[in-house]
């Protein structure tokens, strides 16, 4: 997976950190910051070049990185909440957008203060952060796309409409008005992202009260609302298909601007379903972690103070403990569920932490905040001695027997098709077939029931080589949607016949220590066998497999013109009747 890289001037980090009363220490950054989920490429007096792991999209700008560094490196008290005020601005989404781009969020950030010498670098960093969020959260703008506008150039309230392709406006970096079709076919951004709107008859446009176009999501913003060096008040729109991704993207842009002195304000959005949402929500999100999960995974029991210090370093807040809910199982096997009689830890972390999906993620947060080097030492309490498979010895003895008969082991594909497995081999399906939902080739549409078809196709591929050719396979088939093990062998030889293959079965039974076995006649046409020249293998009254000569009518389908004989066995049945001497 591609890892996003950001380059942050040390002067910016120093400014953002020292305004809170802390000293920016480059040595500390080099030593400790990688523990936060980063990989430092370069860190000198001028610049910090750093790779951000994909699970930490909240670190993809200099401002949001500095925000996390204040807690992690400098011990500043964490605040998982974002101070959000109501803006009074409303946005309405047409019902027609339900199947076009249904999720639309907005926010306002006012009074962003950037000194004039830094304005150009700030605007560039804002756009760079936006594109990195498109990659990390938006999956190439499909799940979420972001638009940032100069609020001074537009008039609320806003309206998101589903319009026809003939609608037009002046897109960013253009001097003339273009229709939506022209943008998708000729504008660089339209060409790059036109696939996101494939098959749609109408496209989304965001208008203000003066009918001015703000944005054509997820493609391009309007030129009239472009952010400039003089922009102080911002309007942010986020549209997409994934609510969590859209909310996180919205809040991270707001967080970046708030670190530059901006005041975040919420926008009331009436969605395409008629539901009203006021976003962003400032309060952090509460998470529940079973105390026993934390202790079991980390190997130590942490005090409340230790948990508080650890989660504070990660930007969160420890709210305390609460008893496990009534009805909790006595011994829960689910990692997310507490056992009866234990307690749960309540943690609050920022809502923009998109990566926190499961209580195990919270355990990792505590471990990173506490420090892996301080978790102490322990010894494994589980038995580490490997146990053999129940059929291990049988499989070994079968391989030795086959190789002793001069056969070469092969491994064919588990994927096959109904023609090879059943039609060509004259077998009727005796078990449920596991089919591939979206096969990419007609050769691979089901999971195999038998091994012999694979051996036949292998010999067909090698028919230009000298005889004899003897191969075997000890592998898995899938019957009734469950794995089962089978053994099959096949020999192509000029003088081979029923007597030859019967001798191989006799040798195999001798190697397995089976004396009481018999050959019983098969019904004509039951499988690929030549009539009167094939039999069942019965051991102690159990039918374990079949052997015999293959019918030329079957082998000719694979363009094999030489006598073939072989067998196929069920390993599970073999194991029940062949005693394991070990």
Q: Is residue 77 part of a domain?
A: no
CATH number of the domain at 33, please. 3.30.56.10
| Rounded CA separation 561/557 (Å) | 10
Q: Beta strands 263-270 and 84-93: pairing type? A: parallel
In this structure, the answer to whether residues 10 and 38 fall within a common structural domain is: yes
Complete DSSP assignment for 440-506: SSTT-SEE-S-SHHHHHHHHHHTTTSPSPEEEEEEEEEEETTEEEEEEEEEEE-TT--HHHHHHHHH
In this structure, the answer to whether residues 18 and 166 fall within a common structural domain is: no
In this structure, the answer to whether residues 364 and 249 fall within a common structural domain is: no
In this structure, the answer to whether residues 325 and 450 fall within a common structural domain is: no
Q: Is residue 422 part of a domain?
A: yes
In this structure, the answer to whether residues 162 and 248 fall within a common structural domain is: yes
Q: Is residue 382 part of a domain?
A: no
Question: Phi and psi dihedrals of 385, rounded to 5?
Answer: -70, 130
- Supply 395's token pair: 């499989």
Beta-bridge mates of residue 469: 492
Q: Beta strands 158-163 and 203-207: pairing type? A: antiparallel
Q: Is residue 379 part of a domain?
A: no
Full-model pTM: 0.69
In this structure, the answer to whether residues 411 and 559 fall within a common structural domain is: yes
Neighbour count for residue 185 (Cβ, 10 Å):
12
Closest C-alpha to 473, from 347, 379, 566: 566
Terminus-to-terminus CA distance in the chain, angstroms?
48
| Rounded CA separation 361/289 (Å) | 10
Closest C-alpha to 129, from 248, 262, 214, 268: 248
CATH number of the domain at 176, please. 3.50.40.10
In this structure, the answer to whether residues 407 and 550 fall within a common structural domain is: yes
User: Domain boundary residue among 48, 72, 96?
Assistant: 72
Element containing residue 12 per DSSP (H, E): helix 10-18
Q: Is residue 529 part of a domain?
A: yes
In this structure, the answer to whether residues 130 and 189 fall within a common structural domain is: yes
Q: CB-based contacts of 582: which residues, under 8 Å, 6+ apart?
A: 393
| Rounded CA separation 313/36 (Å) | 10
Question: Phi and psi dihedrals of 2, rounded to 5?
Answer: -65, 135
Q: Is residue 134 part of a domain?
A: yes
Q: Which residue has the tokens 């030889």?
A: 493
Per the structure, the count of domains in the chain is 4
User: Domain boundary residue among 320, 344, 374?
Assistant: 374
**Residue 246's pLDDT is what?**
96
CATH number of the domain at 529, please. 3.30.930.10
Q: Which residue has the tokens 């892996």?
A: 372
**Residue 325's pLDDT is what?**
85
**Residue 2's pLDDT is what?**
64
In this structure, the answer to whether residues 67 and 96 fall within a common structural domain is: no
Calculate Rg over the CA atoms of the chain. 34
With b for 16 or more beta-carbon neighbours within 10 A and e for fewer, the 416-449 pattern comes to bbeebbbebbebeeeeebbeeeeeeeeeebbbbb
Task: Judge contact between 498 and 565, C-beta under 8 A.
Answer: yes
**Residue 365's pLDDT is what?**
95
In this structure, the answer to whether residues 62 and 162 fall within a common structural domain is: no
Omega cis (within 30) before 280: yes
With b for 16 or more beta-carbon neighbours within 10 A and e for fewer, the 88-106 pattern comes to ebbbbbbeebeebbbbbbb
Q: Is residue 236 part of a domain?
A: yes
In this structure, the answer to whether residues 119 and 254 fall within a common structural domain is: yes
User: Domain boundary residue among 340, 374, 408?
Assistant: 374
Q: Is residue 444 part of a domain?
A: yes
Helices (H) and strands (E) in the chain, counts: 16, 27
62-72 and 243-258 helices, crossing angle to 10°: 80
- Full residue range of the structural domain in which residue 416 is found: 392-577
Task: List per-block mean pLDDT (blocks of 10 residues) for the chain, which spans 582 residues.
Answer: 83 94 93 89 93 91 96 94 96 95 97 91 95 93 96 96 95 92 94 93 95 96 94 97 96 97 97 94 95 90 94 96 82 78 93 94 94 80 77 90 94 93 92 91 93 94 90 95 95 89 93 89 87 92 93 92 93 87 64
**Residue 82's pLDDT is what?**
96
| Rounded CA separation 219/196 (Å) | 9
Closest C-alpha to 451, from 491, 420, 428: 420
In this structure, the answer to whether residues 321 and 443 fall within a common structural domain is: no
| Rounded CA separation 212/210 (Å) | 5
Question: Maximum distance among all alpha carbons in the chain?
Answer: 96
Task: Judge contact between 207 and 218, C-beta under 8 A.
Answer: no
């Amino acid at each position: 997976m591609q890892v996003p890289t950001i380059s942050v001037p040390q002067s910016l980090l120093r400014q953002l950190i020292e305004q809170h009363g802390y000293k920016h220490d480059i040595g500390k950054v080099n030593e400790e910051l990688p523990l936060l989920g980063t990989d430092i490429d370069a860190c000198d007096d001028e610049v910090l070049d750093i790779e951000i792991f994909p699970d930490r999209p909240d670190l993809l700008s200099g401002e949001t990185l500095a925000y996390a560094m204040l807690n992690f490196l400098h011990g500043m008290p964490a605040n998982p909440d974002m101070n959000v005020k109501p803006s009074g601005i409303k946005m309405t989404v047409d019902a027609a957008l339900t199947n076009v781009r249904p999720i639309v969020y907005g926010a306002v950030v006012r009074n962003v203060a950037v000194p004039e010498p830094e304005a150009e670098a700030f605007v560039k960093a804002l756009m760079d952060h936006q594109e990195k969020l498109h990659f990390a959260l938006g999956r190439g703008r499909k799940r979420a796309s972001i638009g940032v506008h100069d609020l001074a150039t537009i008039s609320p309230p806003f309206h998101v409409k589903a319009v026809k392709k003939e609608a037009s406006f002046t897109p960013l970096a253009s001097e003339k008005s273009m229709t939506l079709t022209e943008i998708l076919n000729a504008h660089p951004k339209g060409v790059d992202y036109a696939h996101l709107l494939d098959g749609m008859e109408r496209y989304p446009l965001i208008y203000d009260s003066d009918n001015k176009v703000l944005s054509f999501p997820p493609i391009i913003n309007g030129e009239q609302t472009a952010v400039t060096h003089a922009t102080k008040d911002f309007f942010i729109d986020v549209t997409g298909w994934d609510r969590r991704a859209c909310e996180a993207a919205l809040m991270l842009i707001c967080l970046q601007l708030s670190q530059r002195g901006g005041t975040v304000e919420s926008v009331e959005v009436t969605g395409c379903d008629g539901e009203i949402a006021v976003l962003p929500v400032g309060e952090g999100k509460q998470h529940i972690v079973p105390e026993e999960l934390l202790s079991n995974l980390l190997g130590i029991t942490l005090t409340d103070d230790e948990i508080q210090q650890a989660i504070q370093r990660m930007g969160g807040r420890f709210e305390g403990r609460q008893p496990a809910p009534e009805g909790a199982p006595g011994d829960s096997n689910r990692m997310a569920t507490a056992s009866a009689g234990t307690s749960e830890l309540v943690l609050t972390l920022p809502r923009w932490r998109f990566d926190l999906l499961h209580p195990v993620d919270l355990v990792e947060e505590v471990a990173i905040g506490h420090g892996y080097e301080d978790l102490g030492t322990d010894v494994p309490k589980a038995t580490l001695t490997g146990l053999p498979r129940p059929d291990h010895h049988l499989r070994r003895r079968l391989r030795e027997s086959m190789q002793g008969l001069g056969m070469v082991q092969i491994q064919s594909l588990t994927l096959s098709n109904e023609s090879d497995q059943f039609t060509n081999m004259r077998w009727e399906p005796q078990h449920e077939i596991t089919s591939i939902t979206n096969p990419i080739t007609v050769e691979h549409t089901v999971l195999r029931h038998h091994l012999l078809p694979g051996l036949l196709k292998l010999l067909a591929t090698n028919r230009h080589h000298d005889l004899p050719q003897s191969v075997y396979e000890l592998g898995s088939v899938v019957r009734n949607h469950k794995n089962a093990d089978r053994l099959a062998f096949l020999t192509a030889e000029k003088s081979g016949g029923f007597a030859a293959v019967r001798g191989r079965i006799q040798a195999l039974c001798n190697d397995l220590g089976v004396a009481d076995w018999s050959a019983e006649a098969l019904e004509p046409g039951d499988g690929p066998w030549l009539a009167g020249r094939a039999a069942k293998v019965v051991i102690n009254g159990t039918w374990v497999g079949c052997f015999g000569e293959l019918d030329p009518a079957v082998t000719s389908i694979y363009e094999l013109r030489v006598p073939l004989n072989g067998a196929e066995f069920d390993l599970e049945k073999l194991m029940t009747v062949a005693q394991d001497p070990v």
